[in-house]
Structure 1
Amino acid sequence: MRKVRLTFMSTCTSASSSLAEPVAATAATARTWLLLEQPGPWGPKALTGSHLDPRVGRALERAADRTGVRVGLIRRPGRHADRHDVRRRTAYVAHTVPGGTWVREAVVEDPGALLGLDFEALGRGDHRGFGMPYEGDPLALVCTNGKRDRCCALKGRPLAAELAASGLGEVWEVTHLGGHRFSPTMLVLPYGYAYGRVDAGLAHQVLAAAREGDMVLEGCRGRSAWERPGQAAELAVRRLTGELRADALTVDGEHGTRVRHLDGRAWDVEVMAVAAEPPRPESCGAALGAPLRMEISGIQPALLTNSVV
């Protein structure tokens, strides 16, 4: 492996780029996303470190735990007034599992009312009538929380502002998508594909594809509906077949890394978790570490019985 010198002043993004670290299979895992508008400053742990009542933030975290739901705060790109008097907030719930993707939208006056949601049902893809169907452009969520990692602000905020000015999608800043070292990072809903090292050109391409029900392989970190081995397996099959329709492939939960196509084909994908070398910072200011990366060691057509093509 080639040697790369990581200086004290290196940012996590520059170190990752210098090492040519793959972005594939690094997406945060969530079958369903619950996103609540919260203007103003965000702390490192925004649900309990913003102008949102921290009691509500902690309760939302507890309610979502182990349900497949991930909670995040969002705000419009641009300057963020230090406001405490927010009366009406946009909230989205989005389910990302192929064949059952949807986005619902509501305006809430009391964030505590979200604690009345059935989080287990949301994780399964049952919205229980929350809000109304969202029928706008794809949602583009760009991580900009500089209190969590400076790269997210330095790289994410300019991207969010440029996308918002372009009018190509419904653009929001979001508190955390994981993978600071891949900033700028972006999540696109309804399909739940995450992207890393995103520039404006790639972002426009991704949003245009999402409008047509497609995804883009370049810069794709994976679909949040799957655990990381499943993300790796799906992306490997897409590279093998050239399939770009977002909902054409599913990952079989029983088989772990069996990828199924809508037309009846299937592939078994061997995925290995390997510690990245040499060590690198996963966040600015963090100690050097060896994050796991997913490597494909084999892929072959699955032997199916009673399959319908």
Structure 2
Amino acid sequence: MNPAEPVRCSDVAGEPLPGSAKRQRIYIILEWVNGWSRDILDGGVFGEDLTAQLKAKLGDGAGLQLIRRPGPDGRRIDRHHLYLVFAEQATTELLMVDGPEAILDLDLDGPGRNGAQPVEEPLVLVCTHGKRDVCCALKGRPLAAALYERHPGNIVWETSHTKGHRFAPSLLLMPWGYSYGRLNEEAGDQLVRSACRGEYFYPGNRGRGTHSPRGQVAELAVARELHTGADPLFYGNLMVLDETDNDVLVVHADSRSWHVTVEQREVENVISSCGDAPKKGRVWVATNIVPSQANADLGERD
């Protein structure tokens, strides 16, 4: 790096990725090709009145992401893609709408309630929200463009703030609600290809946003061990059943389970956003993984 250049928040790599995922269970993902203000719900995108109505609709249970296709051609649309993602059920649905007002009429109690079209392919949302932090423009836009060139269609999108621009390029993977960070073009391409097969992609994985930070860390600790095995791991195979203390239970769909011990530790030199001063942060880390006896019993029967 040129000494005259400012230190960008995403250039400081001391903070671990696991446990940093955006926490959300329901996503409303609207194609919006016009400008994105620093906070898409600050009134600068949709105006004060509609923004207030959208906030009331979303409440505490749903999050809004704005998306657009990479490149100038993606700015010319007649109608807007509106995706509904229920991450716990790993379900994505699509509506084509005339504008953001359609969000106000949605039933968010679960899948299958809005006459929407089921979507089988994943969504890979690359944060390019430069007004939120310049790192997402500098690192997110080139990655989004490269991945879209390799995978044209409706899989790869630019998106608004995904939480964690200090990990730029920052990505969201739907329908499972995983966050990823610090992926280069080749790793991003592998992520897209793996996701299209439903295969769990471990590199750069920050965790699943349906879990608390300690649950994210515990799942990833187990996934790291299984990732090196002969059998592929698929999204949805691992479930976090208990996140209430430092002993987190992670269960596989085949009935194997692990007790993962996690603890909080301090990390130095965390820069939350470009221009912020470095500070101390606290992160969860996995310190021990103990397979249950049932795992051994399964092995004996094989």
TM-score by length of 1: 0.84
Match of 2:10 among 10, 13, 21: 13
Change (3 A) 1:113 1:233: same
Q: SS of the residue aligned with 1:48?
A: coil
Aligned to 2:258: 267
Shift of 1:265: 1.5
Distance 1:58 1:35 in 2: 18
Shift of 1:258: 1.1
Q: Does 1:200 align with 2:185?
A: yes
Aligned length: 288
- Cα RMSD (Å): 2.7
Counterpart code for 1:92: Y
Q: How does 1:87-98 map to 2 (within 5 A)?
A: 88-97=79-88
Distance 2:116 2:42 in 1: 25
Counterpart code for 1:293: V
Aligned to 2:283: 293
Out of 173-182 and 245-254, give the one that drifted further.
245-254
Per-residue deviation, residues 191-232 of structure 1 (Å, max 9, x unmatched): 222210111101110111111111211111111221211110
Per-residue deviation, residues 163-200 of structure 1 (Å, max 9, x unmatched): 11112662111111111111011112122222101111
Change (3 A) 1:54 1:141: farther
Change (3 A) 1:50 1:159: farther
Match of 1:113 among 86, 102, 111: 102
Distance 2:5 2:150 in 1: 37
Q: Does 1:233 align with 2:233?
A: no
Counterpart code for 2:90: T
Maintained 8 Å contact 2:65/2:159: yes
Change (3 A) 1:81 1:186: closer
Maintained 8 Å contact 2:178/2:209: yes
Shift of 1:273: 2.4
Aligned to 2:117: 132
Aligned to 1:3: none
Shift of 1:8: 8.4
Q: SS of the residue aligned with 1:194?
A: strand
What 5-or-longer segments of structure 1 have no aligned partner? 1-5
Q: How does 1:1-309 map to 2 (within 5 A)?
A: 9-14=6-11, 16-17=12-13, 19=14, 21-67=15-61, 69-79=62-72, 88-97=79-88, 100-119=89-108, 121-122=109-110, 126-135=111-120, 137-167=121-151, 170-242=155-227, 244-253=233-242, 257-277=248-268, 279-302=269-292
Shift of 1:287: 3.0
Shift of 1:292: 2.4
What 5-or-longer segments of structure 2 have no aligned partner? none
Change (3 A) 1:130 1:254: farther
Maintained 8 Å contact 2:41/2:51: yes
Change (3 A) 1:130 1:294: farther
Distance 1:63 1:253 in 2: 30
Q: SS of the residue aligned with 2:194?
A: helix
Distance 2:226 2:69 in 1: 38
Distance 1:292 1:130 in 2: 43
Out of 215-224 and 71-80, give the one that drifted further.
71-80
Per-residue deviation, residues 123-152 of structure 1 (Å, max 9, x unmatched): xxx4423411113x3211000011000000
Shift of 1:103: 0.5
Per-residue deviation, residues 63-108 of structure 1 (Å, max 9, x unmatched): 32332x221111111249999xx762110011222xx211100011
Shift of 1:241: 2.6
Change (3 A) 1:296 1:264: same
Maintained 8 Å contact 1:63/1:115: yes
